[in-house]
Chain A
Amino acid sequence: MPDIQTQGTEEIHPDVLLVNQARAGDVHAFEKLVKQYDRQVFRIAQHITQNREDAEDVVQDAFLKAYEKLDQFQGNSKFYTWLVRIAVNESLMRLRKRRTGRMVSIDEDVETEEGSMPRDLADWGPDPEQQYGQSELADILRKTIQGLPPGFRIVFVLRDVEGLSTEETAETLGLSVPAVKSRLLRARLQLRERLSRYFRNNKKGGVK
């Protein structure tokens, strides 16, 4: 039976093999992990810090910290989520430095009622993004997500853009699963509401 055959021979994630080799001093194994995940770390850092230089620093610092702490990595979580947790912490630290005198936490501004119920109920066309050129669209998307409170933005990015599960997102941010779910819903609804301004059917002489 499949159950019996697979018992005890659970597949080891390739990342875990690379981590083990890196721990044994193989820098090339670590290089593979850097190449595998540097784009994601950069993206997450940009979303949180909203600053290009900070994001570059976070990429370096997060990987170096991960390398130094490889011994603390336990195989029971994915290397990627472990790395993302380091990157999120480094990013929040950078954000705090920039906003001196102002506390920045992922708990900030989450009490807002905005977007808890949809208000803009105009429909969008089937491909609303086609109304815009690629770079104009990217500007709209950046501007829109930057307007979210950090606590919503981070949850949306990890969960919907980077594809972490709800449980992984909760673990990464040190939040409860219900807290992640409530922020994700609010983040999705707020983004939807704000994008409606650009994507609704009657925009730019649309369909009707």
Chain B
Amino acid sequence: MTCTEFIAQLDDFLDARVSASLRADLEEHLRTCEHCVITLNTTRKTIEVYRSNELYELPNALRDRLQKAILAKCKKC
């Protein structure tokens, strides 16, 4: 397996959506390719860091104001 072939399957591998036989091939490639190990680990970390950090928090005061505005208009519908 080449690195290009590995990268093509990277998402499915990360999302655990590959068949057992394909997974074995991908893992075999990883045993011999440090670059793809790094790409895999750092891509996994990229997803994790975006999932675990709230970038756009909705402050409570604004949240209350928006909720009230929405519901006031709904009642008039």
Contact = CB atoms under 8 A, between A and B. Distances in A.
Interface of A: 27, 30-31, 34-35, 38-39, 42-43, 46-47, 55-56, 59-60, 63-64, 67-68, 117-118, 121-124, 128-129, 137-138, 141-142, 145, 156, 160-161, 181, 184-185, 188-189, 191-192, 195-196, 199
Interface in B28-77: 35, 38-39, 41-43, 45-47, 49-51, 53-58, 62-63, 66-67, 69-71, 73-75, 77
B14 to A, nearest CB: 8
A29 B55 CA distance: 29
Given A27-B71, A67-B77, A118-B7, A38 B49 contact: no
Give the interface size class of chain B.
35 or more
A31 B42 contact: no
A30 B72 CA distance: 12
A145 B57 CA distance: 16
A14 to B, nearest CB: 19
A47 B56 CA distance: 8
A185 B10 contact: yes
B11 interface: yes
B42 A38 contact: no
Contacts, number: 111
19 contacts: A27-B74, A30-B74, A31-B71, A34-B71, A55-B56, A60-B69, A63-B70, A117-B3, A118-B7, A118-B35, A118-B39, A123-B41, A124-B41, A129-B53, A141-B53, A156-B50, A188-B46, A189-B7, A192-B46
B4 interface: yes
A106 B75 CA distance: 34
Mostly helix, strand, loop or mixed at chain B's interface?
Answer: helix
A164 to B, nearest CB: 12
A38 B67 contact: yes
Contact of B73 (A55, A64, A122, A129): A64
Greatest chain B CB density within 10 A among A55, A145, A195 is at: A195
Nearest to A46: B56
